[in-house]
């Protein structure tokens, strides 16, 4: 059912884009009611508007905390037009029916980002605005609610093309958006009061993007978030669901490394990673670990990609490359493949919390931000690792933290030799890593081994020793630690405990 807009209530914090709306309302002889600064803005345009305080006979009080909270305002929004009793009361109390409500909210989230002044933040908790939006959205059967300046374009088209008439579907669509805005606003306020301790799980993300499909083509999927805050995509096809999972794994992994490093990931695990003085050498060493799995993978580095590196990288097929920047020549080289996704990573912090769905509920936890250094090592064997081994143990421990459990990582000279990922036993993970290293002709003599959790028995250490591995890093904590340490002492192996487990399921 079409409804004609005859009167409008406007009370906004942001005036951007409002001028054309107000002029259009005037052109169509729509009566305008307004408040405070919004009334001043409209008046300066030379357009007639009625002050809300003239309607209510109450001025704005308490430093502007109370302006619109009055029956003559909310009665005009909430009255049901087809209800004779409602309309009788409206007429009796001289209340206008508002057909259009244009209201936005105080910038609470922006204030939280830019200020630590609690009093200032509190004052940006909107009361009247949120109430007006909810009231108008509730009564969408009769009222069109515009709750964000991003809707002004659609509103203007609606006013001009439909002669200021609206149908129920349009009003319900705007009401849905309004409740989305009010819900997100309340979520932000709750989380600020809760100091992000998540005593209750409340999450709201306004930006959502439909993806081509989910993990598989038969699954529908959306991404909620703002990738533009993290990356500039300078080339390539649309990012998919699986791409996003790999990008997330890659970004988290490379964040552990300060030295020039390059990693290649496949299905969230690194199939190659190395640290070197220059990037092109790091690429060579990373690719050497598993040139087969690198096909179709995700490449990430913490350095600007130069021409020499790009020429080498461009020789293989891969889906995505991520770097803090690229030289112009490097970009020209890498853009030769039409669909190749090229991302420039911005400097931004990842969230310290993470959650995932499970059993119709949500698991919530702190992100694993533990990074063990040499000062955290507990040297439990008679033989101590050399300086070079210590560097490799730190490297391997960073890598095993980002490898699916059960995980074993073999490293030598700041280069991944091989890893065992996602196995049901630690022995199987080790055997997988050893087998893979041999396939690509790596010498495991004096390599180091990292485990994401303790060794329940000494069998893995015995297998590693037989291959020439001479230093081990693990959390410790098994009831058989003493047995494992004893084997190391008897066979001239260095072992350190970190006391920190890094399961990744």
Listing DSSP states for 80-119 in one string gives -TT-HHHHHHHHHTT-PPPSEEEE----HHHHHHH---HH
Task: Output b/e per residue, 410-422; b: 16+ Cβ within 10 A.
Answer: bbbbbbbbbbbbb
449 inside domain: yes
CATH number at residue 315: 3.40.140.20
pLDDT at 362: 83
Give yes or no for residue 205 having a pLDDT over 80.
Answer: no
Local confidence band at 276 (pLDDT 50, 70, 90 cut-offs): very high
Could you tell me which residues come within 8 angstroms of residue 267 by beta carbon, excluding any fewer than 6 positions away? 246
Within this chain, do residues 177 and 64 fall inside the same structural domain, yes or no? yes
320 inside domain: yes
3-state secondary structure (DSSP) of residue 405: coil
Cα distance between residue 255 and residue 245, in whole Å = 16
pLDDT at 354: 85
pLDDT digits (tens, 9 = 90+) for 457-475: 999 999 999 999 999 999 9
124 noted as active-site residue: no
Within this chain, do residues 280 and 176 fall inside the same structural domain, yes or no? no
14 inside domain: yes
359 inside domain: no
Tell me if the bond preceding 206 is cis, omega within 30° of 0. Answer: no
User: Which is more confident, 202 or 355?
Assistant: 355
Give yes or no for residue 131 having a pLDDT over 90.
Answer: yes
Within this chain, do residues 76 and 186 fall inside the same structural domain, yes or no? yes
Q: What is the DSSP string of 9-40?
A: EEE-S--TTHHHHHHHHHHTT-EEEE-HHHHH
Tokens 């649309």 sit on residue = 238
Cα distance between residue 469 and residue 457, in whole Å = 17
Average pLDDT over residues 234-251: 95
Within this chain, do residues 25 and 149 fall inside the same structural domain, yes or no? yes
CATH number at residue 118: 3.40.50.1380
Is the separation of the CB atoms in 303 and 286 below 8 Å? no
Of the residues 267, 312, 383, 431, only one is catalytic, namely 267
Average pLDDT over residues 266-279: 96
Within this chain, do residues 336 and 432 fall inside the same structural domain, yes or no? no
Is the separation of the CB atoms in 204 and 230 below 8 Å? no
Local confidence band at 273 (pLDDT 50, 70, 90 cut-offs): very high
Give yes or no for residue 202 having a pLDDT over 80.
Answer: no
β-bridge pairing 100-103 and 144-146:
parallel
Rounded to two decimals, the pTM is 0.83
Q: What is the mean pLDDT of the chain?
A: 92
Q: Lowest mean pLDDT of 73-77, 162-166, 406-410, name the range.
A: 162-166
Give yes or no for residue 51 having a pLDDT over 80.
Answer: yes
Give yes or no for residue 65 having a pLDDT over 90.
Answer: no
First-to-last CA distance in the chain?
A: 53
pLDDT at 357: 85
148 inside domain: yes
Within this chain, do residues 275 and 423 fall inside the same structural domain, yes or no? no
Within this chain, do residues 285 and 394 fall inside the same structural domain, yes or no? no
pLDDT at 366: 85
442 inside domain: yes
pLDDT digits (tens, 9 = 90+) for 321-330: 999 999 999 9
Tokens 């439990």 sit on residue = 380
pLDDT at 58: 83
Average pLDDT over residues 185-199: 86
pLDDT at 195: 85
Local confidence band at 69 (pLDDT 50, 70, 90 cut-offs): confident
Report the percent of the chain where pLDDT is more than 90. 74
Cα distance between residue 486 and residue 472, in whole Å = 13
Within this chain, do residues 333 and 414 fall inside the same structural domain, yes or no? no
pLDDT at 64: 78
Of the residues 138, 237, 335, 383, only one is catalytic, namely 138
Tell me how many domains the chain contains: 3
Give yes or no for residue 59 having a pLDDT over 80.
Answer: yes
352 inside domain: no
Q: Which of 8-17, 70-79, 414-423 has the highest mean pLDDT?
A: 414-423
Average pLDDT over residues 133-140: 95
Range of the domain at 289: 230-345
Within this chain, do residues 387 and 341 fall inside the same structural domain, yes or no? no
Is the separation of the CB atoms in 468 and 459 below 8 Å? no
Enter the tokens of residue 397.
């421990």
pLDDT at 11: 92
Give yes or no for residue 198 having a pLDDT over 80.
Answer: no
Average pLDDT over residues 75-89: 91
235 noted as active-site residue: no
Within this chain, do residues 22 and 170 fall inside the same structural domain, yes or no? yes
Within this chain, do residues 311 and 186 fall inside the same structural domain, yes or no? no
Within this chain, do residues 108 and 238 fall inside the same structural domain, yes or no? no
β-bridge pairing 448-451 and 408-411:
antiparallel
Tokens 């230093």 sit on residue = 471
212 inside domain: no
């Amino acid at each position: 059912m079409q409804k004609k807009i005859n009167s409008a209530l406007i009370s906004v914090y942001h005036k951007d884009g409002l001028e054309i709306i107000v002029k259009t309302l005037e052109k169509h002889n729509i009566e305008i009611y307004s408040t405070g600064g919004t009334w001043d803005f409209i008046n300066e345009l030379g357009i007639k508007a009625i002050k809300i305080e003239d309607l209510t006979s109450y001025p704005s009080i308490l430093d502007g905390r109370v302006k619109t909270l009055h029956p003559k305002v909310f009665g005009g929004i909430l009255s049901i037009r087809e209800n004779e009793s409602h309309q009788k009361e409206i007429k009796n109390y001289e209340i206008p029916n508002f057909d259009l409500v244009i209201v936005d909210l105080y910038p609470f989230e922006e204030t939280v980002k830019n200020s630590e002044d609690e009093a200032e933040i509190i004052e940006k908790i909107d009361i009247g605005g949120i109430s007006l939006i909810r009231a108008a959205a509730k009564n969408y059967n009769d009222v069109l609610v515009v709750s964000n300046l991003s809707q002004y374009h659609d509103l203007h088209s609606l006013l001009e093309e439909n002669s200021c008439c609206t149908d129920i579907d349009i009003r319900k669509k705007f009401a849905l958006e309004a409740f989305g805005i009010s819900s997100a606003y309340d979520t932000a306020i709750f989380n600020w009061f809760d100091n992000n301790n998540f005593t209750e799980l409340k999450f709201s993300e306004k930006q959502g993007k439909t993806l081509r499909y989910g993990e598989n083509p038969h699954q529908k999927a959306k991404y909620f978030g703002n990738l533009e805050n993290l990356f500039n995509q300078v080339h390539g096809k649309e990012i998919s669901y699986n791409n996003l999972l790999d990008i997330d794994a890659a970004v988290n992994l490379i964040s552990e490394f300060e030295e020039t490093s390059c990693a290649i990931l496949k299905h969230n695990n690194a199939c190659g990673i190395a640290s070197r003085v220059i990037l092109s050498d790091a690429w060579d060493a990373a690719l050497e670990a598993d040139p087969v799995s690198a096909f179709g993978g995700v490449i990430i580095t913490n350095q600007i990609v130069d021409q020499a590196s790009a020429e080498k990288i461009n020789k293989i097929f891969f889906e995505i490359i991520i770097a803090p920047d690229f030289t112009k020549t490097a970009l020209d080289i890498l853009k030769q493949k039409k669909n190749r996704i090229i991302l420039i990573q911005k400097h931004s912090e990842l969230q310290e919390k993470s959650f995932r769905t499970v059993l119709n509920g949500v698991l919530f936890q702190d992100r694993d931000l533990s990074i063990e250094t040499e000062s955290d090592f507990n040297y439990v064997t008679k033989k101590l690792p050399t300086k070079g081994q210590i560097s490799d143990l730190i490297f391997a421990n960073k890598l095993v933290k980002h490898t699916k459990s059960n995980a074993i990582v073999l490293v030598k000279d700041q280069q991944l030799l091989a890893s065992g990922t996602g196995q049901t036993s630690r022995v199987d993970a080790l055997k997988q890593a050893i087998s893979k290293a041999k396939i690509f002709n790596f010498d495991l003599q004096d390599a180091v081994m990292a485990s994401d959790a303790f060794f329940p028995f000494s069998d893995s250490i015995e297998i590693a020793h037989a291959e020439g591995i001479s230093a081990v890093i693990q959390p410790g904590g098994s009831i058989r630690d003493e047995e494992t340490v004893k084997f190391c002492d008897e066979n001239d192996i260095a072992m350190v405990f970190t006391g920190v487990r890094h399961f990744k399921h």
